[in-house]
């Protein structure tokens, strides 16, 4: 039952009986290969949190979208926490993010709802031009050294610290 559930979650039913393939034998597509790797990880351990590095790299936009849809299903259906690193996502992939953490030079410059990032940086004077990929806009914003200090002194940073403190107290109470 678990295998069938994971096959369904990862949208792998159509390649259920296909060879994976290698450099000699043509097999499943790159997107199916990424989803298969995630499926194997899911079956190996029923982790409540998953840390995934670059699940869309090397894929065309359609395959990348399929991988992100599968990850969203995992998050919504199973309540898993999924933390991804993605460099320069397309607008469709960006829209799949619930929360966003941006770093510049190893320093946190934004952590909050992905939908709030545009407003956060526009209040710093970074004008957003309609039609520009928001990921590219954010990359331009975080390249400015002022964003580190701005975030550190922002209301958003204070709210995040308060939330971390509250969650830590709950964890310590449960552990006691």
- pLDDT tens, residue by residue, 57-99: 877 888 788 888 888 887 888 788 888 898 888 888 888 888 9
Extract the tokens encoding 38: 């995630």
pLDDT confidence of residue 150: 93
pLDDT confidence of residue 12: 85
- pLDDT tens, residue by residue, 8-22: 877 888 888 888 888
pLDDT, mean over the chain: 86
pLDDT confidence of residue 45: 66
- Closest to 150 measured CA to CA, from 123, 116, 119: 123
Give the residue carrying structure tokens 């898993």. Answer: 80
pLDDT band with cut points at 50, 70 and 90 for residue 23: confident
pLDDT confidence of residue 36: 85
Scored b (16 or more CB within 10 A) or e, 70-107 reads bbeebeeeeebebebebeebbeebbebbeebebebeee
- pLDDT tens, residue by residue, 111-161: 999 999 999 999 999 999 988 889 889 999 998 888 999 999 999 999 999
The CA distance from 78 to 73, in Å, is 8
């Amino acid at each position: 039952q678990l295998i069938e559930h994971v096959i369904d979650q990862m949208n792998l039913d159509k390649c259920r009986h296909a060879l994976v393939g290698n450099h000699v034998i043509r097999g499943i597509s790159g997107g199916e290969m990424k989803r298969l790797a995630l499926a194997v990880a899911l079956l190996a351990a029923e982790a409540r949190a998953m840390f995934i590095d670059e699940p869309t790299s090397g894929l065309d936009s359609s395959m990348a979208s399929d991988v992100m849809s599968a990850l969203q299903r995992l998050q919504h259906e199973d309540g898993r926490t999924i933390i991804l690193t993605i460099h320069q996502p397309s607008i469709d992939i960006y829209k799949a993010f619930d929360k966003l953490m941006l770093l510049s030079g190893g320093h946190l410059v934004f952590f909050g709802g992905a939908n709030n990032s545009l407003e956060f940086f526009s209040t710093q004077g970074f004008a957003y031009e309609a039609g520009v990929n928001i990921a590219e806009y954010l990359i331009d914003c975080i390249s400015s050294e002022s964003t580190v200090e701005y975030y550190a002194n922002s209301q958003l940073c204070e709210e995040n610290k308060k939330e971390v403190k509250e969650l830590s107290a709950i964890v310590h109470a449960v552990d006691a």
